Structure 1
Amino acid sequence: MKIEIWSDVACPWCYIGKRRFESALNEFAHKDAVEVAWKSFQLDPSIPEHFHGSEVEYLAERKGMDPAQVRSMMGHVADAAAGEGLDYKFDDLVVANSFNAHQLLHLAKAHGKGDAVKEALLSGHFEQGENIGSRDYLVRTGVSAGLDATEINAALDTDKYADDVRADFAEGQSLGVSGVPFFVIDRKYGISGAQPAELFSQALNEAWAEANPLTLMGAGDGSNGGESCGPDGCAL
């Protein structure tokens, strides 16, 4: 089973959704047969490499939202994050463009480190006040996950994975992804948003049953089934 997840490092619900999905996956009987692939998405590609202002100022100035409404929304999201064991610090959050972070994620994916780097970037952005647009931070994060600093710098210097990032954007758009997180299971089931873990569990089980139907042997093919008991009694 393959699960593709469109997500942005700058999306607070994406980290919450990751945790809820992981809770369901950890309880899934066939989790070892599940491949998870992270896909790139940008909520706002127009953000400069570093926005000189707070998250409240960014949403108020660039999105036209009322500052009081923004603070209320942040409180709601922080509470939801805390429910998943996450410690969001919106006052420390650095607003920055996530494109190079997505390039780093593609490099990490090529080395089998995609999930580790995704986790580190989300935690750095929302819990640790790190600047996801900073080259220094991206290199440190990649190296901590086992990537080579020289390779990271070379990939970012040449925009080696820029086309792959944009291809993710286009692919998601073709599938109707307009917001994140967005989960696609075997290209048959789509789940939008940070849904409860119970919904992810239901989707995993239904998708697995559809892809791996149970075949009954010795019944329904013209032969007699083995002796068994039912609501009306037992076979003699």
Structure 2
Amino acid sequence: MRIEIWADVVCPWAYIGKRRLERALAGEGAEVVWRPYRIDPSAPAESVPLEDALAEPGAEEMLSACAPGLTPQDNRDRVALIAAEEGLGPSWGAAWRADTADAHRLIALAFEEGGAELQDAVVEGVLRAHFVEARNIGSGEVLADVAREAGFSAGPRLLEAGAGGELVRELLLTGKAMGVKTSPTFVVRGRALAGAQSSEAIVEFVRYAERQEVRELPEEVERLRRAESLLELRDPLGALVLLRPLLESQGEDRGVRSLAARAYFASAQLGRATRELERLVAENPDDSYARHLLGRTLQRRGLDGEAAAHLSLASVMTPGYTG
């Protein structure tokens, strides 16, 4: 059984959730895989002391939204108490506002290089460094130390070489397409449990997910569906990132090309959209949607005369397509 945890390593609930999951699964032998999520994507590339970050205008108001009814300090005290109850004390508290891009690269690379066991050791090291040791996990030196202590000897070299960036980007887009909206989110067989729930709730969730019938789909079908989800979420550039391997390996598949054409149109890559849609229409003149989208693309390019013929034919084939 595989359990995915979509989480950010600057989220205290990710560490608390990790401990609760470990207690819930004691002796189960499940494979736990960590996936990236960003709760602070606007964090500066160079880490800043958290005390300074909290003094910035609007910071306290933003944090108040995380725990309605509590002041930010009261909420931090509450989380520290809960962390201590989970065995994460006595020292607790982040000292840095850190960009987690490199930490996520290290974690993803650990799984690629050594599987779930190595990745877990790296995750534990990153979380401990941030929350217990108050170290700066935006620092390459700190992450290199974490990697070595976890037994991931290749980690520092891979980080320095910039490895893992595209992998993390794809994973972040995959999580978005799946509907992941909070850290942590536990996913088992397509079912999701949001938040650092109690160990009892996690056990109940895992048992429920295990009982559900799941239709396994080929990886390329899953990728196509997730790209379409991103397009529906108005992220056409993200959709194209997920489509890239399919365009390379299945570049003549009509479904892949049609989705790519829609993403090109939605991202204002009108030249690419035109070329792909012209091919689709030439291959299948009765495809009213492709013809309609071609007309709209030509319109946006200011080619009204060429657009009119396609829009007119599309509206005849499918009356709902007008103008």
Q: Fold conserved (TM > 0.5)?
A: yes
Aligned in 2, Cα 1:63/1:156: closer, same or farther, shift over 3 Å? farther
- What's the CA shift for 1:117? 0.5
Q: Percent of pairs identical after alignment? A: 35
- What's the CA shift for 1:61? 2.2
Instruction: Report whether the alignment pairs 1:176 with 2:179.
Output: yes
**Which of residues 70, 93, 96 in structure 2 aligns to 1:94?**
96
Report the counterpart of residue 131 of structure 2 in structure 1: 126
Report the counterpart of residue 35 of structure 2 in structure 1: 39
Instruction: Report whether the alignment pairs 1:9 with 2:9.
Output: yes
Task: Write the letter of the residue equivalent to 2:5.
Answer: I
**Which of residues 66, 72, 75 in structure 2 aligns to 1:73?**
75
Instruction: Report whether the alignment pairs 1:136 with 2:141.
Output: yes
Q: Report which of the two has the higher share of helix.
A: 2
Written as runs of structure 1 = structure 2, the 5 A alignment for 1:16-55 is 16-26=16-26, 31-32=28-29, 34-54=30-50
Runs of 4+ in 1 over 3 A off after TM superposition: 209-212
Report the counterpart of residue 53 of structure 2 in structure 1: 58
SS of match in other structure, 1:159:
coil
Aligned in 2, Cα 1:186/1:118: closer, same or farther, shift over 3 Å? same
User: C-alpha root-mean-square deviation of aligned residues, in Å?
Assistant: 2.1
Q: What residue ranges of structure 2 are gaps of 5+ in the alignment?
A: 64-69, 215-323
Aligned in 2, Cα 1:183/1:24: closer, same or farther, shift over 3 Å? same
Q: TM-score, normalised by structure 1?
A: 0.79
Aligned in 2, Cα 1:142/1:198: closer, same or farther, shift over 3 Å? same
Aligned equivalents of 1:154, 1:121: Cα separation in 2: 17
Aligned length: 203
Task: Write the letter of the residue equivalent to 1:206.
Answer: Y
Aligned in 2, Cα 1:59/1:173: closer, same or farther, shift over 3 Å? farther
**Which of residues 165, 188, 201 in structure 1 aligns to 2:168?**
165
SS of match in other structure, 1:108:
helix
Q: Tell me if the contact between 1:2 and 1:37 (Cα under 8 Å) persists in the aligned partners.
A: yes
- Deviation string, structure 1 residues 171-214 (Cα, Å, up to 9, x no partner): 11111111110011011x210000011111111222233459xx
Aligned equivalents of 2:44, 2:181: Cα separation in 1: 21
Aligned in 2, Cα 1:144/1:53: closer, same or farther, shift over 3 Å? closer
Q: TM-score, normalised by structure 2?
A: 0.59
Q: What residue ranges of structure 1 are gaps of 5+ in the alignment?
A: 213-236
- What's the CA shift for 1:59? 4.1
- Deviation string, structure 1 residues 40-82 (Cα, Å, up to 9, x no partner): 111112212333332x542452753259922111001101111
Task: Write the letter of the residue equivalent to 2:78.
Answer: H
- Deviation string, structure 1 residues 79-110 (Cα, Å, up to 9, x no partner): 111111112522x6222111101111112112
Aligned equivalents of 1:131, 1:86: Cα separation in 2: 18
Report the counterpart of residue 223 of structure 1 in structure 2: none
Aligned equivalents of 1:145, 1:199: Cα separation in 2: 30
Q: Which has the larger radius of gyration?
A: 2
SS of match in other structure, 2:183:
coil
Q: Tell me if the contact between 2:110 and 2:155 (Cα under 8 Å) persists in the aligned partners.
A: no
